[in-house]
Homo-oligomer: A and B are copies of this chain.
Amino acid sequence: MEMEQMNKVVGDEEKERDVKVGMKRKLRYTELFIRLLTLILSLAAAIILGLDKQTKVVPITLVSTLPPINVPVTAKYHYLSAFTYFVVANAIACSYGGVSLILTLANKGRKNGCLAKAIIMLDLIMVAVLASANGAAAAVGYIGHEGNKHVRWNKVCNVFGRFCNQVLAAVGVSLLGSLLLIFLVMLAVLKVQNKH
């Protein structure tokens, strides 16, 4: 009778341990999957805006007494500092995504080492960098789309429509990436708190 009870207790403990190990593994796979997704999204955002280019022939009046001259004008990301910052920030986030993926895979056995802490810190810094890049690109894109009569900045998206749509897509993709990164930090905070 006692033996049976003991067996039952041992069995329950084993089951509990199995559930814990299973949950840990699931969390780990979720983390790795989100890291991979963040990497892909920031790479996509950098490529979408980095390769964004549109050339249009625009009539420009040089002298008011002469008819306007048709000049081909090109829109590229590096003409605006905010877009350059956006592409660089996403490229950095993508590279960091690769490094953090490898480090997380390498850190499999150990619990809570300095490496795990460092990864959370760097995730956090990357959240701030990506958020500021998204804010900058969205702000400039908005002025390009709407124009601003107070400072007399004309809208340019009526001319470079495709370029502007690609900017919008890049900002959307990058925003998704940074939201996933925020989720990753939250997961790490919760995981760390529940682990002990």
Contact = CB atoms under 8 A, between A and B. Distances in A.
Contact of A117 (B128, B133, B142, B190): B190
Classify chain A's interface size.
Answer: 35 or more
A195 B120 CA distance: 17
Contacts of A136: 135-136, 138-139
A121 interface: yes
Interface stretch (A10-18, A74-82, A97-105): A74-82
Contacts of A64: 64
When all copies of this chain in the complex are counted, the total is: 2
Q: A136, A138, A195, A196 — which one has the most chain B CB atoms within 10 A of its CB?
A: A136
Contacts of A142: 81-82
Interface of A: 64, 75, 79-82, 85, 112, 117, 120-121, 124-125, 127-129, 131-140, 142-144, 146, 148, 150-154, 156, 178, 182, 185-186, 188-190, 192-193, 195-196
